[in-house]
Chain A
């Protein structure tokens, strides 16, 4: 159904996303969304994430929505899934495809 454009741009996050690492992810994501209409955030390498990381995800989702871009979360592991679930953002950030 959807128009098949070029392959989505993939941003890979890995390691621990917290107060210290979130700014870099924010920067990378923001740049990717600015340059690509179809961005995939691969979180399979993330071993920890707290609300600092969550804030980046929400911010990115908001940016994508404003631009009419696509942001897809992929490789949502246990640490991130748990956080999304606890904050009730699973549906907003990582809807089941």
Chain B
């Protein structure tokens, strides 16, 4: 209830103060009284008579009235009138008399002949000024006119706030007969309006005496029971001439139209503000979830008490939206829900992440199909039943007080992505056309942002899928080297990167560890990464030394396209020699950790990134003793904005400089120390720790001195395989060994050495001090020699030459288990 107090001192003619400045009630119209003898002698003269005619009682009493009060000329008429009066009964008449100062006063007389003592006849006369009377009558008529005929509602209440008087206008306004008001309080007559506030105002006016103007009241009255109306009321206190408070009066006008216009203007203003705010608020990210939440935040509580955003399942999966089938159900997932207070609607809608299905004939489904909003300005149980996805949601919806409902399909590029619902409960206004337009505007903005987010998510997922599919699906356990790795795609809402890592098993238990980082992000970087990784893997598998692998990779990177650069490090570990050969293409240095926990970076010649071209790569060799560890990583692990790269590498080294941890624990410790809150870049990290080589996995025979070396080697092989429980392989392995040793004896220099190595496959390696690289060359049936290496290739799944010794010869032998084809097999053995 609004309104303001009216300062009474401003009100003209109503000066505050005591009774002294105020005429007494009976002096408003002075009533003179006089008592006359039958001969006109004045016996009594009242104070009011003095007021009206100027003579004091002393002057008047004892005088003859006719002489005192009438003109000479009038006297015969006066005496005649007096005689008629005295002979008749009481009568009233108007007659001009003379004031003491000479002016004429027209008085209205009432005369009452009365019997005096001793049979005398006396006359009691009362008189009042006709002019004053007429004034009072006129005032009263005016007041009556104002009160009775005014179109403004008026009422007078007593101090108990009961109606004392009410005019027709107000009675009509209220729709209650005037008489039915009297003696009752507003709360009893008009229970549908804000009576508590009204009576509070009236009490305040009664108490303070300060009028209140333009107090607003609203509600429904019997005169217009279906509509809310608004009134402006003014209240002022009523006091009698002595200042006694006897009530409060009010004047009331119906301002419903104005009120509604004001409300409409306010709502329009609010809508504009909502749009302005929503524009800034919706679509700040490329995240589906966040965008949906932004719409909710923009509309709750200002526009709706409750709002939801649901998206079609395929859209959430990143699929291209398709038209809603004419006879198909729709499945939606709640993406965001918001409410302005504890509405209790949570039981009636899906919580975020839940799925609901709408049958083809539901209003919701039809609305999605049409792409047009669904408005139910006034919702009752029946209407609600037609809106919800299942019957059990009707009761909680009604209980929460849903009275107005709006659903706007979320459409982008002509396709429906989902729907957004708006519900009003405490907000008593039903949704209007203007509200629908507003909601459509907001939803359209949201739809655009959602569609962008969807497209972005799809691209990101494509890139992630590509990246995942390009990374190793399984890291092979290698003999003599324990391996752990971590791969973290960028968590920032940007794009996937081109980091990669690989573990490539080579001959004789050797293993190549490769970590690389394609510069740039997105699908192109991921694709480049895939190509480089495949090429690196292939080259390493050929037992090419690291620097040569990088040289070929560099050529590949240049061939992929302009501006495709990558850093890469390639390290080959030989578990028997316990040596690492490493080469770098502009990559960060590996961290070496000794078995005693000392850590340092390995100063691999830095090299230039792949794709630059024309610069030779160099490799270095270092040992990795049993228990020592080597960590390769990409810059995402150690690079932090505003921080020196070396600090990150130092921290990595310090973190790793600890003993007593498993390799997996070390990985976790590194991530814990270096990756605090999400990573802006991808992170790839691979760690290898040198394990003791078990005796049943490797055997070595120096091929020195005289004697029959091929036979010696065969017997050694047979005995070893027997000890390893691999008798079944002996025949072929002996033949293989015999050929390889023969070849080394014929074509290479001492020292020569035979090594048998068992991992998933049996590896036979004969190393020597150099000579020709064995050749596999064509031969005819008549050729006496040249069949050795052919035989090797027939017997072995794989053969080749390998570092570390210059020009050695190696061949991996037949599969340990014949039933299981080896993953690295080039061809299947012929037996």
A79 touches B731 (CB 8 A): yes
Q: Which residues of B contact A (CB under 8 A)?
A: 708-711, 714, 731, 734-735, 738-739, 741-742, 745-746, 781-785, 787-788, 790-791, 794-795, 830
Of the 9-residue stretches A1-9, A12-20, A28-36, A67-75, which lies at the interface with chain B? A12-20
List chain A residues, Cβ under 8 A from B738: 18-19, 48, 50
Q: Is the CB of B784 within 8 A of A55?
A: yes
Task: Please name 28 pairs of A and B residues whose Cβ atoms are closer than 8 Å in the assembled complex, sorted by A.
Answer: A16-B711, A18-B710, A18-B711, A19-B710, A19-B738, A19-B742, A19-B746, A20-B708, A50-B742, A50-B788, A50-B791, A51-B742, A51-B785, A51-B791, A54-B787, A55-B785, A58-B781, A58-B782, A61-B782, A62-B782, A62-B784, A83-B735, A83-B791, A86-B791, A87-B787, A87-B790, A87-B794, A89-B781
Residues of A within 8 A of B (CB): 16, 18-20, 48, 50-52, 54-55, 58-59, 61-62, 79, 82-83, 85-87, 89, 92
Residues of B within 8 A of A20 (CB): 708-711
Q: Write the chain B residue with the least CB distance to A52.
A: B742
How far apart are the CA atoms of A28 and B363 in the complex, in Å? 103
Smallest beta-carbon distance B828→chain A, Å? 14
- For the complex formed, measure the closest distance between the CB of A94 and the CB atoms of chain B, giving whole angstroms: 12
Interface contacts (Cβ under 8 Å), in number, total 67
The 7 nearest A-B residue pairs measured at CB: A50-B738, A20-B708, A18-B710, A55-B784, A51-B788, A92-B781, A19-B742
Classify the interface of chain B: helix, strand, loop or mixed: helix
Decide: B710 and A55 in contact? CB cutoff 8 A: no
Whose C-beta in chain B lies nearest to the C-beta of A18? B710
Q: Which residue from B714, B731, B739 sits with its C-beta under 8 Å from A51?
A: B739
Distance in angstroms between the alpha carbons of A85 and B735 in the assembled complex? 13
Known: A48-B738, A50-B742. A87 touches B791 (CB 8 A): yes
Q: Which residue of B lies closest to A53 (CB)?
A: B738
> How many whole Å from B752's CB to the nearest CB in chain A?
13
| Distance from A80 Cβ to chain B, minimum over Cβ atoms (Å) | 11
- A50, B784: Cβ atoms under 8 Å? no
Chain A residues with CB below 8 A from B781, complex form = 58, 89, 92
A58 to B794, CA, bound (A): 19
Min CB distance A63 to B, Å, is 10
Task: Write out the residue numbers on chain B whose beta carbons fall within 8 Å of the beta carbon of A59.
Answer: 784
The residues of A that contact B711 with a CB separation of less than 8 Å are: 16, 18, 20
Query: Taking CB as reference atom, which chain A residue is nearest B792?
Result: A51
The CA of A23 and the CA of B714, in the complex, are separated in Å by 19
Known interface pairs A16-B711, A19-B738, A59-B784; 17 further A-B residue pairs with C-beta atoms within 8 A, sorted by A's residue number: A18-B710, A18-B714, A19-B741, A20-B708, A20-B711, A48-B735, A50-B791, A51-B787, A51-B788, A54-B787, A55-B787, A58-B781, A61-B782, A62-B784, A85-B830, A86-B791, A86-B795
Pairwise interchain contact B745-A19, C-beta atoms closer than 8 A = yes
Residue of A nearest to B790 (CB): A87
Assembly CA distance A52 to B830 (angstroms): 21
Q: How far is the CB of B433 from chain A (nearest CB, A)?
A: 90
B742 A58 Cβ-Cβ under 8 A: no
A86 touches B830 (CB 8 A): yes
Report the Cα distance A92→B782, complex, angstroms.
Answer: 9
- Residues of chain B contacted by A85 (CB below 8 angstroms): 830
Q: Which of B745, B746, B783, B794 interacts with A86 by CB under 8 Å?
A: B794
| Complex-state Cα separation, A62 to B780, whole angstroms | 12
Report B-chain residues with C-beta under 8 Å of the C-beta of A19.
Answer: 708-710, 738, 741-742, 745-746
Q: Report the Cα distance A89→B787, complex, angstroms.
A: 11
Q: Which residues from chain A contact B782 at a C-beta distance below 8 Å?
A: 58, 61-62
A52, A59, A92 — most chain B CB neighbours (10 Å): A52
Residues of A within 8 A of B784 (CB): 55, 58-59, 62
Tell me which of B709, B735, B746, B790 contacts A50 (CB under 8 A): B735
| CB of B254, distance to nearest CB on chain A (Å) | 113
Chain B residues with CB under 8 A of A87? 787, 790-791, 794
Give A86 to B742 CA distance when docked, in angstroms. 18
A residues in contact with B790, CB < 8 Å: 87
A88 CB to nearest chain B CB (Å): 8
B822 to chain A, nearest CB (A): 19
Q: Chain B's nearest CB lies how many Å from the CB of A17?
A: 10
Bound-state CA distance A52–B709 (Å) is 13
* Docked-complex contact B785 and A82, CB < 8 angstroms: no
Distance in angstroms from A73 CB to nearest chain B CB is 15
Min Cβ gap A21→B in Å is 8
Task: Give bound CA distance, A86 to B794, whole Å.
Answer: 7
